[in-house]
Every structure is written in C-alpha cells, then in structure tokens.
Structure 1
Amino acid sequence: MHRSLAGAAGLVSALALTAGLVGPGLTAAGAPTPPASAPLSSAPAASASPASASPAPAERAAGPTRPAATLLYFHDAHEIGPVLTGGQDRGGVARLATAVRTVEERNRATAVVFGGDLAGGTLFGGLYQGVPMVEALNEVGVDLANFGQHDFDFGVDHARDLVAASDFPWITSNLTTTDGTPFVEHGTWAVQRVGAVRVGFIGLTDAIETTTAAADLVERDPVEAARAAVADLRAHARADVIVAVTQYPMDENRELVRAVPGLDAVFGEEMAEYDSVIEYEGDVPLMASEGNIGSLVRLDIRRERGTDRRPGYQVRPSVIEVDHTVTPDPALREVEERYAAEMDERLSEVLADVRTPLLDPEQKSRSQETALGDFVADAFRAQHGADIGWVNGGGLRAEAPGPDFTLRDAYSIAPFANRVMHVRVTGAGLLRSLEDAVSRVQDAGGGFPQVSGMAYTYSPSAPAGTRVSDVRVGGAPLDETATYTVAATNYVVGGGDGVTGFADAEILVPLADAPVDAETIAAHARTLSTIDIEPEGRITVLP
C-alpha cells in the first residue's frame, strides 16, 4: 500500500513517532512462514566451502510467458528529481514510480529492491539527508532495502530514523554495533514471498570508514557475514531463490559467489553512471543499475526444470531505462518540482564576489595545488584558528567559477556533510599523514592534501613513504617532536583514504561539536566578501 506524500516536514515529525524496524508481514526468527513473507533474523558465522563456477545459461533473455516472480532493482537515489548530466536526462522518483507500476500491472508478483544510498553524497542529499527520499520510496512501493555507506553520512541515529520512517524493511548482514549486535534487529536476512516464489535476501555494505558512523559500526568481512546469513536463512526459513544485495563492484561480487554456495543472483553497486552492467559468474548473474536511478535491473524468476544448483527456477536479467522516455507520475512530479523550487530559493543567497574563479579542471585537486583547494583549506584553518588547514582533494566535488559565490556553491563543493574537527598532532604524525595522503596520486586517489598554513614538496615518482620533503609550517621547517593544531574533516582524522597519522591526535573540538564543512566554507566566503585567490606555491611537485 502506498502512502500519500506529506512533504519533508511531515516526515521529519513522523521520524520520532514511527515505531519498530520490522515491516508489515514480517515475523521474528523461527516463527512459521506467513503467506506473504518470512522471518528476518540474525546469526553467528557459519563456515562453507567455496562454490565451483558452472557455465552461464545459453539463453538469457526473458521468454514471452509471464514469469513466476519479478524483482526490480535500483540504488544510488541521492537526487529526488531528474539528473541532467553527460547530455542525458535520467532518473527522478516520478519516472521511477511509472516504470515500477508498468511492470506491476503486467505481473502482480513483483517486488522492488533498493540497494542503498539515499542520504548524503550530493547537494540534495547533503541538504535533506535522505528524508524526502524515504517518503518518495514509500510512495513508489519499495519492498526491501539494503544500506549504502552514504545512508550513514549523518550518523547511526539518523540512519535509524530513516529506517523507522520507511514502510519497507532494511537489512544488513555485515554491519553490527561495536558490541556485536546486528545494526537492524532481526535484520541480517529476509525472505519475502513474491507471488508463489519465496525469495531470500542478504545485504552487504562497505566503506563505513568514510562516514560519521565509523566509530559506532563494525563492518564485518562480507564473505564471513554472507555465509552466516545464508546458513541462518536456510536453518529458519524456506527460500526458492537467494539474492545478495551488495554495495560491492563486480570483482568483489565474483569472489562472493565463488565463496558462498547457494547465491542465485547478486545486485551490486553501480559500475557506470550512464550504463547498466550485467555479467555472470558461472550461471549467477551479477547486476548493476545506472547511478542516480538511471535504470532498473529487472530479474525474472521462472519456474523451469532448472540446473542442479537451482532446481525448479531460472533467473533471467534485463534492463529498464528510467529516462526521458518514461512519463513521470504526476503526484511525485509535483514533489520533485516543489523541492527544486525550494532548493533554488534557499541556495541562491550570494555570499561573496568571485574575482578569480575557483576551478578544478580534470580534478587537479587530487594531484597538485589548486585555488579551490587553497580556498577551502583556508576556510577550515580560519574556522578554528588552527596552525594548519587540511582538505582531501577528493572531497572537493564542484567548482565555483563566479561571478557570485552562493550558498549553492558551498554545498556543491562539499556535499558530504563532513564535520571540520580541530586536533593537535605531532610533527611526526603530520609527516606520516602527508606520506599516506600522497601515496595514491598515480591512481587519482582522493586523499591528496590541499593545505593552508603549511607547505610541502613531493615527488610522485619516488617510492611510497619517501615522497614528501621540505615540509614547512608557518614558514618554519617541520619539527617532528613538536605539536601542531590541524583543522580537517572527520573523514581525514578518522583515517579516510588510508591517512594514519591522526590516529593518536588530541581532539580539541570533537565530532559532535564540529561545524559542517559546507557551512564552514560559506562562513569563510561571507567573511571575505570578495574571493581573490590563486595558487601560491604551497605544494611543489617534483618529477
């Protein structure tokens, strides 16, 4: 049943009132399987031997008869409205609703699976933190969800609020609290009856270390967690088909299928912004839809003679585009337009004039000094009056060409809602952090440090660990025995991009009291009034 939309404000109020994490029709582990769905449960790890790959089926296209059950899969739902990038017009919850209902009209035995990531990650996600997306997906009629790391960008409590506001259950097989309790109670797996087919689901998430929940969650090994979830599922419920919903790319999903017997299909994370990808490991399809709700992966489950691994059923994937050819659902289109207008009004505030454009051509901030990087590092340093400002180049997500610098620019540059912490670190720790941060420059790794209040030289061709030299803080050579104050995001301080030197830093402004990075940038722009900054030799690149 679909809810009528009440807007973000109504949902925010509902977050505190919605009770329970188990969706309608789901029961506790060990209870008899009800007509529509089966239990959610959790279990300790179980061991299993690796599965051997079998040949992919010769015929992969869906036949003309109606399948016994259909699964529709999408993920990466950061934007509520259509996305206009790369010359394409894709996505939007209004088109998604139409695409889903078109399939449902032809086969009532259809379930909708969301793979995760509806908060943070983009300007819209940073501003609204996933709240409008939950309400929209309630209306679309999602039946089950797995977590993406961005669903924890605003902490575990906010993620729990999103779960409580959802009309659909969320599962995770590998995320626990620090005491080992599953993050979702009774939610390490699910079995749902789709038509006559009992479909089992497990869910896997990675990259929790990149979120503000890093200190509150434990990310278990995916193979170990998947084996345990599948074993517990089979011990407590009957499933005709088992599907893994993961936030992993193709190579990791191949390893998962090899290591965990009994998986019949894998829904994974996007491999390309504009292309859906379907590959096979043996006869198990590995599927990824486009980013930003650009497509649905359709998995038809057909009752056939089958193979030895899957007697009675065959799974056959295909792709449904969610683009300009799809007529938007009128009610959800109104919601999209309302949020677009609200964002436009909210973000149009002019904070400063831009005299020299803040550009980042070809993402140069990942490998050399840029005016954009200098500006943001200056903002962080000014916020806390620190000796050093530090921002990872991969965290700079947009340019600000001017002539006006608006609130939209601030949130576009820093859409992840990281917090700007203030820490005290030894010179030795600072040097180790610099070495860590430049170690993946050749791979365009996002850790490359844009800095304020300091300067350094590095050679990308030198062996990792020996690339940094001539480090100066406040114009003086770095003293490895001295201590320095640093303003950097919780992502960097927490070890993001492999930076280890802040592990023993003294926390001067803790995460709970630290300002959001976009607001820090906005405040700095207001103070400057005119932005006129060019690279000044803070970073010297040698051969």
Structure 2
Amino acid sequence: MVKNKKIALVLMIVLVLSSLPFNAFAKSYVVQEGDVLWKIAKKYDIDYKKLAEYNQLKNPHLIYEGQKLEIPEKNSTSSTSDDQITILGTADLHGRIYAYEYAIDSVDKDAGLAKIQTILKRERDKDPDALVMDVGDTIQDNSAELFNDLPVHPMVQAMNEMAFDVWALGNHEFNFEKSLIDRNIAAFNGTVLSANIYKEGTDERYVDGWKVFDVNGVRVAVIGMIPPNVPVWEASAPSHFQGLAFTDVAEETAKAIKELEGQYDVLVGAYHLGPDGQYGYDGIEAIAEKFPQFDVIFGGHAHMKYQNEVNGVKLIEPGKYGWALAKATIDIQKTADGYEVTGVNTENLETYEEKEDQGIMDTFAFVHNQSVDDANTVVGTIEEDFVKNVDYITNEASVTTMPTTQVEDTALIDLINEVQMFYTDSAISSAAAFKSDMNLVKGEFKKKDVANIYKYPNTLVGVNITGANLKAYMEWSASYYNTYTPGDVTISFDPEIRGYNYDMFAGVTYDIDISKPAGSRITNLKLVGEDIVDDATYKLAINNYRFGTLTSNGWVTDEDKYYDSYDLMQDAGRIRDLIIKYIKEEKNGVALPVVDNNWKLIGADLSHPLKEDIYNMIKEGTITIPTSEDGRTRNVKAVNVYDLMEEGKFEGYTPLTILHTNDMHGFFIEGKYDGMGAAKLATFVRQMREANPNTLYIDAGDALQGHNLVTLSKGEEGIKVLNALGIDAMAAGNHEFDYGSDQMVKLAEMLDFPMLAANVVKEDNALILDDSMILNVGNLKVGIFGLATPETTYKSHPDNTAGLTFLDIYETSDKMVKKLQDQGADIIIAAAHIGEEGEYTTDKLAEKVTGIDVIVDGHSHSTYDFGRMVNETLIVTAGEKTRNVGVVELLIKDGKVVKKQARMFKKEQAAALEDDKEMTEIIAGIKKANDTITEEVVAESPIELVGEKELVRTGNTNLGNLLAEALLDISKADVALTNGGGIRSSINAGPVTKGEVLTVLPYGNTVRVIELTGADIITAIEHGIDSYPEAKGAFPHIAGMTVEFDASKDAGNRVTTLMIGGKPVDKTKTYTLVTNDFLVAGGDGYLMFKGKKVVAEFGAMDEVLIDFMNKHGFDKALEDDRIKDISEAVSVLELQVAA
C-alpha cells in the first residue's frame, strides 16, 4: 500500500529529484488575454482534454488571464506495463445504450454504452486484463422499462456483450418488482456486488459483498455498496425489496474489509454513493477518511464527474448516462510477501467526441427502434406551450440560468398535481420538476412528452396527513431556496438539495418567504380560503418516492395511506401513465395549459438599476450563473449586484443606497395595525448597510410626536430610538414644532445627526436649525438640505412657531443647490417635509428647481412604491408609522447619476426579520421611564366619564362628547366627529392620571382638520349609524352639530335633521370638520373623509383632551340629545336642509 512506504525511500526520491536539471520537469505556460485552452494545447501538440485533466480544470472552457498551466511531457503517460493494474468503470447509465434520450427524442452526444464500448476497446488494447465495473442505477430510465418483461434486460445483455466483470447494484434497480432484479442478477455473466443488502432476518447477503480477482497474479478485491435508504425511497411499494434488509455503509465496509483480511493486494470500492453522505449514511469521502485501506473507490449516485484524494485514497466518479469511462491506473511493485501499491492515477475518459461502436448499435438496434416508436406514440394534442419561458432569464427552451418551473407556479406542475388529485380524490397534492427544462410544447401530445415532464416511473399514493405535518413537509420542501440577501437579482437554490426534492403544492394557497431562514418560510397557508389547522387531517396526493420521505420523517405512517395506484393498476398506475389516461379520458385528448398561481415567492426584491444590464450580461455569457462544485446543480448562489461590483464587473460605477422614512410619529413598537416597529427597522437598516457600505438613511420628519411612547417625554425618549437607527439626516416636520420651537431645538441638539430646515429663520434671520450638510460616502460627496412645510404656522398651534418665518421653499432650494454644488457635492438630496397638497408641493419643487437628484418627502403620509420622476428629480415617500422603508438605488459614473430606482420594503416583508436586540432594550427602557409619567395626575373629574365599549358604539356618552368638544375647541373647526371605536375605556370619578387617559385613547392618534361639503357630513353620519341599534365602532361622537335620525328607515336614508351652528346643514357648502388621523385615512369605513384637503393638524388626542380638561373642566361632559333616534316619536320626517 502507498501508506506503507518507507521514510528512507521517500528521502532517496527527494535527493534524486533534487539532482535533476530544471528542464526535467513539466513546462509551464501563463495564460494571456484571449487565450483558449484548445489553442494552447495545439501549440504543444497535446489533446486539450489531457491538458485540462493534467491541470485539474473542472471546466476546460474557463481559463483566466495570468493563470499558470503545467504542460505535460508527451511521454508522461505511457501505455500500461506489467507493473500496472487498470480498473475501468461506469455509473448511473440509466438505460442508455445508444447516445439518445428518448424522453425528448433527441441525440445525447455524451451518453450510452455504445460510446463507452469504443473507449473500452481502446483501453483493452492497452491492457487486455483491465477490470471493468458498473457502479449501479443501470436498468431504469430512458424508456428502459419497455423491456422489463424480457428474460434479460438489454442493459444487462449489453454489459455481458462488453464483458463487464462487476455490477454493483444501485438504488434505482429497485424501482420495479423484485422479480426483475432477481432475474437480471442471475443473467449477468460477471459478479453482482452489494455488501450491505441482506436477506431479511439472516446473516446471508442478497448478493456477494465482495470479490477477489486474480489479475496476472495480483489479488484485486472489489467491495460493492448501495445507499441503505432503498426501503425509504420505495416505501410505498415494499414488494420492490421484499425479503431484503439494507444496512449501514460504514459498518458494512468495516465488516467486508475484515472478511478480506490477508486476501488482497489491491482494494477497490464499487460504491453507488456520491462524495457526500445523505440521510445519515456516509459518502465515499467519509468512507475514504475512515478506511485508508482502499486504494481507489469508484463512486456513483451523485451524477457528477469527480476526482479527488482523501486520506491517501483516490476517488473517482464518471458522471451519469455514460458521460465518461472512469479509469484508475494502479502502479504495483512485487515484494517478498506479494505486491504493494506504489501509486494510483485516475482520469475520466469522456465520450462526447467518441463514435458509437457499430457492433453494440447493431445488436441493440431493436431497443433503439422500439424506444423511438414508443416515444412518438400520439396520445393527444397540446393546445399551447405550458411554460412560455423555460429559462427565466434567457427565455430559451433550455435552462442555463434559473428554471421558471421552480421560481413561479406553472401550468406544467399544475397539470401533474391536477392528475394526482383527481385519481386520489385528495384536496392537496405535491409534485416536483424532475427536469429544469421540462415543458409541453404546442402540437401533438406524444408519450415522449410525458416522459420528458415526468422522468421517473413513480406511482401515485394518497395519504392522510395532519395540518401540522403538512406544514412541516412544506417547510422541508421550501428549504430548497437560498435565503435572499439585499442586492440579489436572481433567486438561487441550496446546492445540497436536489431539484427533485423541491415539491410545489396544489389545492392550497401559500407564499414562500425566502427572506426568512429555512424552516419558517411558509406563510398565508390556506385551503379554500381557510387556515390549515394543525390537528385537522387532510388528504394529500404524493408519489411513492415522496411517501418514503414522509414516512422517514415521521409525517405519515403506512396506516395513513388510503390510496396506492400500483396496488390498483400495477404498471398502468405509474404517474406517467395516469397523465396520459387523464388527458385521454377526462380532457378528450386535449392538454390545455391552465395555471392558478396558487403560490408565489415573497421576501426577495430583485429590483435594482443594474438588473437589466446584469441579465443581459448573463445572456451574453459575461456573467456566469454559479454551479455547484460537483457540477450537478446549477444556480447555487444568487447573482448579487454588490458582489459583481466588488469583482469589477461594473468598473467606474459607484452605488449609493438611500433608505428613507417619514411621518413615523413615534410608532416604534410593532403593532397589528401599525408598522414594523423600530426593532425590525433597525435590523433592515443594518442588513442594507452590510450589503452596501455606501448606504444613507434619511428621515423626512414628523418622527417625534404622535404615539405616547414619545409624546410623554415631549420627544426626548424618542431621540434614543432615532440615534440607534443610525439616521444620517432628517427634516424638521411640522409636528416636531408641537412641543414649541425651543423644545424642538433641544431635541435637535440631542440627536447624533443633524435635523435640517433651510427655510426656517428667527426674527434676526438666523437659521433655527442647520440648513444643509455634506456627507462623504465612499468616494462620493453627498449634499443634503432640509425643508419644513410653511403650513406649520397654521397646522400647529400658533404659539409653537411664534417669532419664526418660513421662507419660500423654491427660492430656498435654489440657493441650497448652488451652495452644495459650490461645496463639491456629487449628489444633492432634499429632505423635505412638504407633501403633495397645497401651495407648496414637492412636484412643484422638482419642476421649479433643477439640480436636485432625489427628494425624500413627508407630510402627506403618501406611499410612492416606485417613486415618481419629475423632470430629472426622483421623488420618494414611504407612508407613515414605520409601515414601510423606502429604498432608493443610485448609480454614479464619472460624477453623474446615470441610473435611479426606487422601491418599498413593506411591513409584510419585515415580518421575516429578527428584532434588533439593542433597539428592543431601548424601547423597553422608554416604556419603563414612561410608567412614572403615566402615574401623574392631570385632572380631577367630579363624575365618572363613560367609555364602555357597548355604550360608545351605540350612542353618545359624556366622555365621547367631552372628547368631541376638546377637538372642536383646539381646532376652531365648524364641527367635530370622532369614532366610538377609538374610545377604549371609562374614567372613574376623582383624580385622573395620564395613564387613564392613555387607556381611553391608546392609539396615538393625532388631530386633523379637513374641508368637506355638507353632503359629505350627512354621508359620514349615515355611515356611522347604519347598523344602529347594533353596536358599531364607527358610531359618531360629535360636537358643533346636532343630528336626528330614524332607525326604522333603510340604512343610508336615516338622517332626518342635521343642524350646524343652529342652522340646517347646506349640502353644497364647504365646512371644516375636526377628527382624528385614522378617520382622515378612511379608517372605520369613513371613506368620504379620505383624500379631503387637510387644512390644519394638531397634536396627539390624549394631550388635546388633557389640555381641555385643565382649561375648561368637565362642564361639557354631558349626555344630551345631540344625536338621537326619533323613530318611535314620529312616523315621517323630511330632512331639513337649507333652501
């Protein structure tokens, strides 16, 4: 063995080598720009494949400028001599004799035993004693099942014709009745091996575990091994492995080696296993690590061309279908005790350029002809292509990037699931895309088309499964996707999971959130609109292979199986046959593509200004979709724009990401009806900065007033949140002035970043806040200036802006642009609390002032999902209350912005994020500090203030009236209206604490005044009373008007009298109405308020109520007839309105 060489011999070799002249070693060549491997090989008169093999190039078509290649001497590979043993092997032939794939009725240039025979003859000319093995998965696939009834399967017959010495069984040999494999084991002329299959209940192996071959006096031992998961994979058809037991690979290896002790000179593995283990059993790399006694292990199962050395053991796998013939050349040396291995060389002899052996082709022409005829049997008509763009990026019919069938719902998977649900009478079904480029194309529907979309001979199983286990199964499947990272422009797959283990479900609707970690991705899971219930039982259709998965994971048992197509129909019950049967019998031979789009991927925002460019580069081949190391799995890593920039793919471009929020109003706690909260917001900001260090965060104002979390401390506690968020700059919103201008300045001084307002000056014309700033971001100079809405003077209490002047925003902005340009700014951003209504708007700003690249806007609480371009300026705004975070992507080249793109990260997406721990602690600290404030007594009530739910939703109460009067008092509006659903509790007579008021008004709503017509007011009242006397959260509590209504009338026609200021309402007149911001947004069904002009804004409702209590006492806390039902008093009344 190589491991037993003497140290002295090694030293002697080193001395000899050191004495050789330099040119005795192989030449080297440094790759130049424009070089390709075949030209380099031609220059040195050697085969390019040999050159690639010699340099261990995984892909001979990928070499790089500056790469050093070693050039082998022409005589470096000599013909086999007497002191060498040659072992040759195939694996995963899967029914291929001709170089042909019958599923698509097309030539497959690197496949089949006919090509293998050409190489095999050549190798046998060199070494007639070469040992030839097949390492399993031989008699299944490629229409091989057509010949299952023959006495000898053509694949076995072909191996006999080619004088194979060993056939190591693979798991797919057990896809059929056991009688098939039994018959062909007996028919094979060589030795069938598998050391870990036993006759059940005995110590007797099913076939030989190992065999020692005498090769010119050298004892070559070969051990065979199979994945022990066959009973799991074939769980729905126990007859396929009846009477057999499968044991652990490592344990059986140890046993076989012990049995062989003293009987071999060379030890070879014929293991139908890939490099890595699965499902708890070892792969060949682990076997080599544990058992260095091996000289070489031939692998299979993984369908990869692979060579490696682990622990001194050479490993080789020749891929699938006959891609290559694996070769191991073993150098041996005669010793006193026998023979010793002195070296092992491996190589895969590829078949792509080989010709097929005519003898094999002639002998098995019947197989080819019958398979082609069968594949072309017409079974129906395909009306339209089932998948329009098979490759998601290139739109080609073959997949080189992302397969459409695995990133969105398609008619193809829906058809398979439809068939499965029909025959099992199940509510739910699952199916996988066995081939990434599978499709049904318009035209005749032939059998080969079915084999193309359903590669394996699976049968159909129906099981009962609990809701909890269904969810676990779906999560298992969804782990196929890699987790999304900001900057990704493609969706990618876990290289450790095969595509056939990703199932898509029908019958249910669901989303897969790939921003979440595996195991927590399935969301919005429903069956016919209802949530899946954990302990309920559902009927599920699956294939027999997946039944094995589900049983092994404990999600179903044998007793849960209620349907088995194989039991009912035998071979006619294979899913491929059922698809044909369904189209013929249920669809009158017509296959029509129908897709229900019952599932989708979420949590992955693939948009970016460079996305289109990247996709074009992928199409051109400039950017390559990453492939797994074994070459078997494509698309194993997402293409990420920031990675590409680091790699220099976009030389000269500088990316700038701008995160933005506005009108957060202190809503920093995640809530059902509020936003994502500051803890998740902080996590998102951190992730975005990690993805692109060139990231800014700008807030457009109104952050520190609204929710009692911040208002209790007049904004000061909220400063802690803003600082922890890592904001770079913010605008001063009108509500930042609600605590008075002095407090606003104090708050600005407490910030770790500037609060900006270029258009607000004091009486001496000095700025109250900084007007602008320059930030160095990477190699960019970013200029930011702030604007506050001039509406602040009348939308906040006049005292709050006393002594301040709000300058024209257009003139101010023009000056700011020039100032920042003079300071060398590459990018100019306006942080503007301006909005889209009234005299001053950001649209007008972009029209009037040039040079602003981006306006981050606030004030209107609008959401521009993708921003708005006005002239050359991008305007963005992100709603309110942390419901969204805006994301702007800029690309700068040569000092100019060349691309702009905006998107929105929404609360629903943020649900996948973990809460930031630091922010969680900060908010907990604020709550604790606020506890002291809430205990403060703010008033003394002589009476109980009634706010019980059943009362405030069916009529007016003294508390509701008091609140409406407080709104009217502060706003000086014509009328007031607030909803009973916003009043959450009563207040006892006696001392009134701040906490009690917050319990009554817990939502942090603010006060707003809108303009509307008398007709609108009537409509609002009709809406609030349409359910009366049933309770309704929209029931109106009013001031400044009185209402009489007749509840006996139809809803919508109940108001009989509505008086404002003692006069009948004028339907055409414009009035001002004060209410809360929730109703202004259309909340509680008050849609007639939505979009109305807001003419004034005030602080939080709890503060307004407390101020009113202190100023006016409780005289207006009355229960009166301001709104009453008169249905029992009169029979008919006409609505009184002004003439």
Q: Same fold (TM over 0.5)?
A: yes
Cα distance in 2 for residues equivalent to 1:250 and 1:325: 32
Q: Which moved more, 1:153-162 or 1:137-146?
A: 137-146
Cα distance in 1 for residues equivalent to 2:1111 and 2:806: 36
Say which SS state the counterpart of residue 82 (structure 1) adopts.
coil
1:263–1:442 distance in 2 versus 1, CA, 3 Å: farther
Say which SS state the counterpart of residue 239 (structure 1) adopts.
coil
Partner of 1:459: 1065
Query: In the alignment, residue 152 of structure 1 is paired with which amino acid?
Result: F
1:286–1:541 distance in 2 versus 1, CA, 3 Å: farther
Contact 2:957 2:1119 in 1 (8 A): no
Shift of 1:339: 3.4
1:449–1:354 distance in 2 versus 1, CA, 3 Å: closer
Mapping for residues 419-430 of structure 1, pairs under 5 Å: none
Shift of 1:167: 0.9
Partner of 1:326: 913
Cα distance in 1 for residues equivalent to 2:971 and 2:700: 33
Shift of 1:523: 5.5
Partner of 1:258: 847
1:166–1:317 distance in 2 versus 1, CA, 3 Å: same
Partner of 1:287: 876
Partner of 1:542: 1137
Partner of 1:297: 886
Q: In the alignment, which of 177, 181, 195 is matched to residue 778 of structure 2?
A: 195
Mapping for residues 387-402 of structure 1, pairs under 5 Å: 392=973, 399-402=982-985
1:188–1:219 distance in 2 versus 1, CA, 3 Å: same
Query: In the alignment, residue 200 of structure 1 is paired with which amino acid?
Result: G
Contact 1:396 1:414 in 2 (8 A): no
Contact 2:965 2:1039 in 1 (8 A): no
Mapping for residues 68-147 of structure 1, pairs under 5 Å: 68-79=655-666, 81-86=668-673, 90-147=675-732
Shift of 1:312: 5.3
1:356–1:269 distance in 2 versus 1, CA, 3 Å: closer
Shift of 1:158: 0.2
Shift of 1:155: 0.6
Mapping for residues 300-319 of structure 1, pairs under 5 Å: 300-304=889-893, 311=896, 313-319=898-904
Shift of 1:268: 1.0
1:273–1:438 distance in 2 versus 1, CA, 3 Å: closer
Contact 1:174 1:220 in 2 (8 A): yes
Q: CA RMSD in A?
A: 4.5
Say which SS state the counterpart of residue 128 (structure 1) adopts.
coil
1:304–1:218 distance in 2 versus 1, CA, 3 Å: same
Cα distance in 2 for residues equivalent to 1:215 and 1:442: 37
Cα distance in 2 for residues equivalent to 1:222 and 1:437: 24
1:535–1:346 distance in 2 versus 1, CA, 3 Å: farther
Contact 2:1041 2:1062 in 1 (8 A): no
1:303–1:377 distance in 2 versus 1, CA, 3 Å: closer
Q: In the alignment, which of 1088, 1108, 1119 is matched to residue 533 of structure 1?
A: 1119
Cα distance in 2 for residues equivalent to 1:370 and 1:61: 56
Mapping for residues 402-417 of structure 1, pairs under 5 Å: 402-404=985-987, 406-409=996-999
Cα distance in 2 for residues equivalent to 1:261 and 1:532: 57
Say which SS state the counterpart of residue 680 (structure 2) adopts.
helix
Cα distance in 2 for residues equivalent to 1:390 and 1:141: 36
Say which SS state the counterpart of residue 291 (structure 1) adopts.
coil
Q: In the alignment, which of 620, 633, 641 is matched to residue 65 of structure 1?
A: 641
Q: Deviations over 1:30-55 (max 9, x none)?
A: xxxxxxxxxxxxxxxxxxxxxxxxxx
Q: In the alignment, which of 202, 205, 223 is matched to residue 788 of structure 2?
A: 205
1:272–1:117 distance in 2 versus 1, CA, 3 Å: closer
Q: In the alignment, which of 182, 186, 207 is matched to residue 767 of structure 2?
A: 182
Say which SS state the counterpart of residue 834 (structure 2) adopts.
coil
1:82–1:114 distance in 2 versus 1, CA, 3 Å: same
Q: Deviations over 1:14-70 (max 9, x none)?
A: xxxxxxxxxxxxxxxxxxxxxxxxxxxxxxxxxxxxxxxxxxxxx964544335322
Say which SS state the counterpart of residue 216 (structure 1) adopts.
coil
Cα distance in 1 for residues equivalent to 2:832 and 2:931: 34
Q: In the alignment, which of 236, 240, 246 is matched to residue 826 of structure 2?
A: 240
Say which SS state the counterpart of residue 167 (structure 1) adopts.
coil
1:408–1:330 distance in 2 versus 1, CA, 3 Å: same
Cα distance in 2 for residues equivalent to 1:281 and 1:150: 27
Say which SS state the counterpart of residue 249 (structure 1) adopts.
coil
Shift of 1:124: 3.1
Mapping for residues 503-518 of structure 1, pairs under 5 Å: 517-518=1104-1105
Contact 1:120 1:150 in 2 (8 A): yes
Shift of 1:224: 1.6
1:438–1:246 distance in 2 versus 1, CA, 3 Å: closer
Query: In the alignment, residue 1066 of structure 2 is paired with which amino acid?
Result: P
Shift of 1:497: 4.1
1:231 and 2:818 correspond:
yes
Query: In the alignment, residue 157 of structure 1 is paired with which amino acid?
Result: D
Shift of 1:302: 1.5
Q: In the alignment, which of 847, 852, 856 is matched to residue 267 of structure 1?
A: 856
Cα distance in 2 for residues equivalent to 1:108 and 1:247: 27
Shift of 1:519: 2.2
Contact 2:663 2:861 in 1 (8 A): no
1:535–1:372 distance in 2 versus 1, CA, 3 Å: farther
Contact 1:153 1:416 in 2 (8 A): no
Q: Deviations over 1:461-506 (max 9, x none)?
A: 25559x9xxxxxxxxxxxxxxxxxxxxxxxxxxxx9489xxxxxxx
Q: Which runs of 5+ in 1 are unaligned?
A: 1-58, 382-387, 419-435, 468-495, 500-514
Contact 1:129 1:154 in 2 (8 A): yes
1:68–1:440 distance in 2 versus 1, CA, 3 Å: same
Shift of 1:147: 0.7
Say which SS state the counterpart of residue 903 (structure 2) adopts.
strand
1:535–1:295 distance in 2 versus 1, CA, 3 Å: same
1:220 and 2:810 correspond:
no
1:391–1:91 distance in 2 versus 1, CA, 3 Å: farther
Query: In the alignment, residue 199 of structure 1 is paired with which amino acid?
Result: V
1:180–1:464 distance in 2 versus 1, CA, 3 Å: same
Q: Which runs of 5+ in 2 are unaligned?
A: 1-606, 612-639, 643-653, 989-995, 1021-1036, 1043-1059, 1073-1093, 1125-1134
Query: In the alignment, residue 253 of structure 1 is paired with which amino acid?
Result: T
Q: Deviations over 1:389-438 (max 9, x none)?
A: 976456968732534463215665996699xxxxxxxxxxxxxxxxx997
1:414–1:396 distance in 2 versus 1, CA, 3 Å: farther
Query: In the alignment, residue 208 of structure 1 is paired with which amino acid?
Result: T
Cα distance in 1 for residues equivalent to 2:1096 and 2:901: 39
Cα distance in 2 for residues equivalent to 1:328 and 1:238: 39
1:330–1:463 distance in 2 versus 1, CA, 3 Å: closer
1:525–1:62 distance in 2 versus 1, CA, 3 Å: farther
Task: Tell me which structure has the larger Cα radius of gyration.
Answer: 2
Cα distance in 1 for residues equivalent to 2:808 and 2:905: 32
- The aligned length equals 400
Cα distance in 2 for residues equivalent to 1:290 and 1:414: 16
Contact 2:862 2:877 in 1 (8 A): no
Query: In the alignment, residue 223 of structure 1 is paired with which amino acid?
Result: Y
1:396–1:73 distance in 2 versus 1, CA, 3 Å: same
Q: Deviations over 1:353-387 (max 9, x none)?
A: 454669888xx9xxxx9966632466699xxxxxx
**Which structure's relative contact order is higher, taking Cα pairs within 8 Å and 6+ residues apart?**
1
Q: Deviations over 1:86-145 (max 9, x none)?
A: 4xx623222121111111112222222121112223333432222122122212211111
1:202–1:154 distance in 2 versus 1, CA, 3 Å: same
Shift of 1:328: 1.0
When normalised by structure 2's length, the TM-score is 0.31
Cα distance in 2 for residues equivalent to 1:160 and 1:220: 18
